[in-house]
């Protein structure tokens, strides 16, 4: 069994949650908190993996080129006028 120091604030919080009847023991509160941390970490890891995939796809899509906004607008006007 692990022993941890959580400080007075969290001790009062634990006791309050147990006293409310929502949890039977402080251990239940701690387990719930750890489940939430685990869930958040899994979400974070999935998000990072998705971002890494998007970065890889961007890098594989080819070299970027500088574009001139005036030329982009002019091309759009030309296209609009010929349509």
**pLDDT digit string, tens, across residues 22-50:** 999 999 999 999 999 999 999 999 999 99
**Average pLDDT taken over every residue of the chain:** 94
CA–CA dist 8, 4 (Å, integer): 12
Q: Which residue has the tokens 């002019």?
A: 74
pLDDT at 62 over 90: no
Q: Whole-structure pTM over 0.75, yes or no?
A: no
C-alpha torsion sign, points 54, 56, 61, 66: positive
Q: Give domain limits for the chain.
A: 7-82
């Amino acid at each position: 069994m692990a022993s941890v120091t959580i400080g007075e604030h969290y001790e009062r919080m634990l006791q309050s949650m147990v006293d409310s009847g929502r949890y039977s023991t402080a251990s239940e509160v701690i387990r719930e908190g750890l489940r939430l941390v685990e869930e958040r970490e899994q979400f974070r890891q999935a998000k990072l993996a998705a971002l890494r995939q998007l970065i890889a796809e961007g890098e594989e899509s080819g070299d970027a080129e500088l574009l001139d906004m005036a030329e982009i607008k002019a091309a759009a006007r030309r296209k609009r006028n010929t349509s």
